[in-house]
Amino acid sequence: MLFVPSTGYGEEPTDGGDNRERHYIERRRDQFPKDFAYFVYPIAGSIPGLGTAGGAGATVANIAQTNLDFTGFFIEGDFHATGMAITDLHIIPERLVFNGGWYTYRVSPMVFRRGINSSRDDYILPFFEGEATPVQLTLTFDGRRYEFYARFMNSSGSLTKVLDKYHNEFSNVDKSVHNVNSLNLGFTADITDDVQDPRRGARLEGVRRSTLEQQFMTSQFDVYDLNLTYYLPVGLSSTWAFNAFYSTAEKVAAATTDRTELQNALGLSCTGYTGQALTQCQTAQQQFLDDRVANNEFGTATWLGGTQRLRAYPNGRFFAGKAVFYGTELRLNLTDEKTLVDWYILHGLRTNFQLAFFGELGGVADSDAELHAILRPSYGVGFRALFSGVTIRLDLAFGDEGSQMQLFLDYPWSMFSVDRPG
């Protein structure tokens, strides 16, 4: 939600005039619109692995005939979030763009065990709360076809408690506040007919995700992500999208992999439990140490599951030192209207409603040699509504572990999203 680009829907020339270079794939609309729009809207979010929540948000787009947008939101339920953001502030018109935001959160995600063979019933529930401030500078060229960006995020948060899957609470959990600074450096090569709603062409994205300080008893890694999407036109206004994604963690600074040293340093203990509860606590503690040792040795690449990749599984369902993903999605546009909407709570340009059918495969492992050994499937159907700068989607997905329904913003296969802003 913090960095959704605002895009207008006029059909005027696409690259700013006849004096600019012609391209094999022309933009079908202006990529730097200044059409004023505003939205006041209810928010109903469903994110597998996090739960459901509801609230409200407001967006003002293209303020004072500029590209500047402002968004504020509040969400409460199984998870909590409040925040605000300014986006598309052009420091140098159509060349250097600033985005900035601030938000608070309170979440209790299901944290599963490491690896592609982990069980869905084997997890812990850490309760986090904190705040984060992301800022981004983007250099953009040639009508947003080529972009280079630096995204810095400062986050401050703490654990309030940790439960095992039986809802036994771990004792001696570190509840101190931790500050994390991260820097992401990335690029986009977008040879499509539109940034927000591409129907033909290809897009290549890459990013290096780095934490700037080594955390206590944790190895420091850089994570490299590469994302390629191809869009094949279908009929007059629909498209068939194909996506391939690869992620790998590369060690920068090592931490211990000694189990006893980790247990003592982290203060893990099952003191106070007896009988079955003691056995359950000890089992969960040993599994936590196993995963912590593996994380210090191999790192954690971008996970699979949730809103972006392998949508049939909860957020963070599969993770290891490396990840691979393949997806395809047929997007059928049901309407393609440009009718001006001018209601009390909504003013802007409506585009279209869309029906989607998708299939996905993904795998994780700690080595490239094992990465394709087991690929988990995900397939389903979705519905989308595209407004000025905002894509709202509802997906129903099926996989090895059942089905998941989610209501979310933006198309899938994104490098950044509301549930993973950094």
Mean pLDDT value across residues 266-285: 80
Query: In a 3-state reduction of DSSP, which class is residue 220?
Result: strand
Tokens of 187: 């690029």
Q: Which are the contacts of 242, defined by CB distance < 8 A and separation ≥ 6? A: 229, 230, 232, 327, 328
Tell me what pLDDT residue 202 has: 98
Buried (b) or exposed (e) across 293-305, using 16+ Cβ within 10 A?
Answer: bbbbebbbbbbbb
Which CATH number does 37-409 carry?
Answer: 2.40.160.50
**For the residues 257-276, what does the mean pLDDT come to?**
81
Instruction: Enter the tokens of residue 401.
Output: 């572990």
Give the mean pLDDT of 185-214.
Answer: 96
145 pLDDT more than 90: yes
Does the pLDDT value for residue 295 go beyond 50?
Answer: yes
Residue 79 has pLDDT above 50, yes or no: yes
Q: Give dist(CA 350, CA 373) in Å, integer.
A: 45
Task: Answer whether 230's CB lies under 8 Å from 199's CB.
Answer: no
Structure confidence by residue, pLDDT tens digits, 6-61 = 333 334 444 444 444 567 799 988 999 888 888 887 776 677 778 888 898 888 98
Mean pLDDT for the stretch of residues 390-419: 87
Mean pLDDT score of the chain, rounded to an integer? 88
At 345, is the pLDDT very low, low, confident or very high (cuts 50, 70, 90)? low
pLDDT at residue 344, as a whole number: 63
Binned at pLDDT 50, 70 and 90, residue 363 comes out as: very high
Q: Which distant-in-sequence residues (6+ apart) come within 8 Å of 27 by Cβ?
A: 14, 15, 143, 193, 194
- Does 259 have pLDDT greater than 60? yes
Using pLDDT thresholds of 50, 70 and 90, give the confidence band for residue 348. Answer: low
Q: How confident is the model at residue 340 (pLDDT cuts 50, 70, 90)?
A: low
Q: What is the mean pLDDT of residues 162-176?
A: 82
Task: Give dist(CA 49, CA 110) in Å, integer.
Answer: 5
What is the spatial distance between Cα 224 and Cα 206, in angstroms, rounded to a whole number?
7
Handedness of CA 182, 188, 193, 199 (dihedral sign): negative
Give residue 422's pLDDT: 65
Mean pLDDT lowest among 67-81, 88-102, 205-219, 327-341: 327-341
What stretch of H or E contains 386? Answer: strand 376-387
Give the mean model confidence (pLDDT) for residues 63-79: 92
Which pLDDT does position 389 carry in this prediction?
66
State yes or no: pLDDT of 1 exceeds 60: no
